[in-house]
Chains A and B, each alone.
Chain A
Amino acid sequence: MLCEKAMELVRELHRAAEGRLPAFNEDGLRQVLEEMKALYEQNQSDVNEAKSGGRSDLIPTIRFRHCSLLRNQRCALAYLYDRLLRIRALRWEYGSVLPSALRFHMSAEEMEWFNHYKKSLATYMRSLGGEEGLDITQDMKPPKSLYIEVRCLQDYGEFDVDDGTSVLLKKNSQHFLPRWKCEQLIRQGVLEHVLS
């Protein structure tokens, strides 16, 4: 059946849990594009034949192929677009440096897009709040205090606190640290925010 491959791409993304980014299905996309190319060429020749040879009975077939082309295009675009939305969310959810396993799931173009997006966001953030800029990816939840209690979930190593001292983040150790320093580590799963 036509457009099956394109539907498969869409289904594959739909099945992936909220926010997860499966590996880029380069093969699948290539097959969709090949199918589109074949349909296009068949239609081109049929259109020429219909025009010159007066074969109007070819028109339904031409329309059928055209519908399939549009369908393939729509599925492919939706696949690519949705992946971009998920990648964009990663910048906000996780931070500007993605784990390497995730990076392997992205195509070269997607990686490039991510870098562009990071840059745009950084430029925008620098333009806010006077000279220093404003990190709007912080304080995603309304903060109640400047310092928070955190517990270490993994061994992380030395961690510099602003006033020159540093703490050793060892698994299961607990610390009282400035919120703005920890937020990213909490989101990345290194620390856990402990509510007293």
Chain B
Amino acid sequence: MTMNCVACWQGICREGSSFGICLMVFSRLDRILRRKIVAVQCRFNHIISRGSKLELPLWLAKGLFDNKRRILSVELPKIYQEGWRTVFSADANVVDLHKMGPHFYGFGSQLLHFDSPENADISQSLLQTFIGRFRRIMDSSQNAYNEDTSALVARLDEMERGLFQTGQKGLNDFQCWEKGQASQITASNLVQNYKKRKFTDMED
């Protein structure tokens, strides 16, 4: 079986070789869920009648979608529709984006694939929402040192949480440097992780 490796590889390596990001793409895609599709003449293992609504995974909907809507058309989830877009534009900071689907931005970006007439508004909304919230995320990540941050990240979506973590890492690295610990050689992560699990079989 020949593999279409190039396209796949590009898909995997798109944002860089960190799997964390690629996996974000995957697990984001895994958050298919809240998607309703109107199926137009499609037959899977059993016949699905024309006009029926289904929930399909994002990857599947993307694969079956085409411009002429021969197989299916996609209904936008509520949070990307006009009503919620207005809420976001009023004050983006109060919204619990984690509850809205933990991959709000990623999923929303993927939705643009389905050629909705609202695409321009959706992309604007995503961008403005992010801009509205970013300042607070940056501030809190740079000022929370050695404390419980669960309250700060509770209402952030996955992408924002990643940013927050990056900010925290920068803060911790800087503090470490200030304390003069930057030159201290430390055990590898592997060792530290295994130690926590009382891993004793380590021979050289």
Contacts and interface: CB of A to CB of B under 8 A. Distances in A.
Interface string A90-116: 100110010111100000000000000
Interface string B184-204: 111111111101000101111
Contacts of A40: 1
B43 A99 contact: no
Contact of A78 (B19, B62, B186): B19
Nearest to B71: A60
B187 A100 contact: no
Contacts of A11: 27
Given A18-B193, A141-B182, A193-B184, 10 more contacts: A67-B64, A74-B12, A74-B26, A97-B204, A99-B203, A101-B199, A186-B185, A187-B188, A188-B187, A188-B191
Nearest to B41: A60
A20 B193 CA distance: 8
Interface string B155-199: 000000000000000000000000011111111111111010001
Size bin of chain A's contact surface: 35 or more
A7 interface: yes
A13 B27 CA distance: 11
16 contacts: A60-B71, A67-B62, A73-B4, A77-B12, A78-B12, A78-B22, A81-B19, A101-B199, A140-B185, A141-B185, A148-B185, A188-B187, A189-B187, A189-B192, A189-B202, A193-B185
Contact of B8 (A57, A74, A186): A74
Contacts of A183: 185
Contact of A19 (B27, B43, B190): B190
B190 A64 contact: no
Contacts of B117: none
A125 B64 CA distance: 49
Contact of A81 (B12, B27, B62, B181): B12
B30 interface: yes
Contacts of B182: 141-142
Q: Which of B5, B19, B22, B44 has the most CB of A within 10 A?
A: B19
A66 interface: yes
Contacts of B181: 195
A146 interface: no
B158 to A, nearest CB: 11
A75 B57 CA distance: 14
Contacts of A82: 19, 22-23
A184 to B, nearest CB: 9
Q: Which of B30, B59, B190, B191 has the most CB of A within 10 A?
A: B190
A144 interface: yes
Given A60-B42, A99-B201, A10 B27 contact: yes
Interface of B: 1, 3-5, 8-9, 11-12, 17-19, 22-23, 26-27, 30, 41-44, 59-60, 62-64, 70-71, 180-193, 195, 199, 201-204
B75 to A, nearest CB: 19
Interface string A121-164: 00000000000000000001111100010000000000000000
Contacts of B44: 60-61, 64
Nearest to B5: A77
A188 B12 contact: no
B190 A20 contact: yes
Contact of B186 (A102, A190, A193): A193
Contact of A61 (B1, B43, B195): B43
B193 A77 contact: no
A70 B8 contact: yes
Contact of A188 (B8, B199, B204): B204
